[in-house]
Structure 1
């Protein structure tokens, strides 16, 4: 029983080592580098979209709080007298 346990532990460690080595070797190939760059650009794009969505949500909240309609520009008496809006 003791030998079987050590055999299974050794085999598991060997499989783990081979898988880690294969992943490490993949990083240094052209395809691996391209995959990493694509993942980086995708992450940046998702972050940009999340920030834009958060800004739009916050703008909507502020417009509701202050009673400003979407795309409505506040006017002042000076601008109205000049004919500018």
Structure 2
């Protein structure tokens, strides 16, 4: 019984080692490196978007708590631009 147990354990370890070696070899190819870099870029963009959303949410919360008006664009307050040169003051 002991020999068969060690045989199965060795076979399992061999299969695991071969799988790890294949994954490592694939990761070091041009396609594998490109995939890893794209995943890293995607992750960085997701983190940046989450940070920006959190920052905007916190800023709105602080402005509300302090009673400040939200920032506005001056062009929106003034109305649409004049269409004719005669309308200018």
Count of aligned positions: 73
Match of residue 77 from structure 1: none
Q: Which runs of 5+ in 1 are unaligned?
A: 74-85
Counterpart Cα distance in 2 of 1:26 and 1:69: 55
Match of residue 10 from structure 2: 10
Q: Which runs of 5+ in 2 are unaligned?
A: 74-89
Which ranges of 4 or more aligned residues in structure 1 deviate by more than 4 Å?
Answer: none
Counterpart Cα distance in 2 of 1:14 and 1:7: 10
Counterpart Cα distance in 1 of 2:12 and 2:48: 42
**Match runs of 1:36-51 below 5 Å:** 36-51=36-51
User: Normalising by structure 2, what TM-score?
Assistant: 0.75
Counterpart Cα distance in 1 of 2:42 and 2:27: 18
User: Normalising by structure 1, what TM-score?
Assistant: 0.78
